[in-house]
Amino acid sequence: MIKVSVMYPHQAGARFDHAYYRDRHMPLVQQKLGPACLFYTIDKGLAGGAPNEPPTYVGMCHIYSTSVEAFQAGFAPHASEILADIPNYTDLTPVLQISEVVVGQP
């Protein structure tokens, strides 16, 4: 199993609409990816490691898939539509990482 993490770095003054991301964008991603998206989680950054420090990431999602190839096959046909939705909830540039899930349960 793999996890695709899409992370939005905190920047003072940047816009990130958590409600839109939760209620519109991620359901769109799941619908477009179909079976390539086994499930997803969303994180909302609250704080950094030190007192009164902002979060490293204001928001992130983690999309779980059976393999890199399965994710890419599900994402590629819909990439432009999914990416075109980003300005509807943020002006931040996401950081992407694909990881192998070594331990965990959905």
Residue 7 belongs to domain with CATH number: 3.30.70.100
Domain count, the chain: 1
DSSP code at position 46: -
Whether 17 contacts 105, CB under 8 Å: no
Residue 77 lies in a domain: yes
Whether 59 contacts 8, CB under 8 Å: yes
Query: What band does 98 get if pLDDT is binned at 50, 70 and 90?
Result: very high
Domain carrying residue 45: 2-100
pTM: predicted TM-score of the whole model, two decimal places: 0.92
Q: How far is CA 33 from the centre of its chain?
A: 13
Query: What band does 103 get if pLDDT is binned at 50, 70 and 90?
Result: confident
DSSP, collapsed to helix, strand or coil, labels residue 20 as helix
Residue 58 lies in a domain: yes
Residue 105 lies in a domain: no
